[in-house]
Amino acid sequence: MSQTSLWQTNQQNNDFAEICNALYERELRVLANVEPATLQSVQGRLKSLSYYINRTANSMAQVSTQGISPLTLDVQNASWSTKQASKLPLAGQTEQEINAWYLALLSKKNISLLGLVVPVFQGEHIILDCIDRVDGERKRLRTNLSGWFSLIDSAVLEDSSAKKVLLFKPNKKVMLTACAGHCWQNGNKASPIIPSLRELLLSCAINWHNFHRVLK
């Protein structure tokens, strides 16, 4: 092992430890402030917490070390950072453009959308989600957290009773925004929010060179 690779390994181990500490502190605060829940549900979340925190911390440290993401890693806060735009990046996100992008991928037999990390607009910020089911016949997609989206009528969540939720197409500006937790209120920049543990893990699976392909 060369001196350079040894330094990188030590640095990655240090980053891993700091990220783990920050994630544990944040997730324990979340658990402490959730609405009253059954003991069994809390125990279930605690049992899996170590696995997901270790996996997320390791992935974030590796992505940062390998330089495969345009984001900057803040190890002390276990988050990604990048310059926030003055306005929500909506260029290329009309209903027609969104539907056309996903429908084009559905028509290609050499591309699988399963597991693809996608941006979902919720109110005044964008979250990361992933596609877990494809209905080619009815031309719709289901994301793991947000549910079904139709690509024929619109890319709006099919449950009309829910708050405004839109499936966006991934591009660099939108994905940077989602990963860094950028927010806007009444069209003005607001303080960023830290994405959930699940979103941070998904952020490490983004293929920044080809947003239509799943990162292997």
Looking at residue 138, what is its pLDDT?
A: 93
Q: How far apart are CA 124 and CA 22, in angstroms?
A: 26
**Residue of 140, 191, 186 lying closest to 167 (CA atoms):** 140
Q: Is the dihedral of CA 148, 79, 42, 34 positive or negative?
A: negative
- Report the run of H or E that residue 103 belongs to, with start and end: helix 95-106
pLDDT digits (tens, 9 = 90+) for 45-91: 889 999 999 999 999 999 999 999 999 999 999 999 999 999 999 99
Q: How far apart are CA 35 and CA 61, in angstroms?
A: 32
Looking at residue 189, what is its pLDDT?
A: 92
Looking at residue 157, what is its pLDDT?
A: 52
What does pLDDT average to in each consecutive run of 10 residues of the chain (216 residues)?
A: 48 87 94 73 87 96 93 96 93 92 92 95 92 94 94 62 78 97 91 96 96 83
Residues constituting the chain: 216
Q: How many CA atoms lie within 13 A of 202 on its CB side?
A: 26
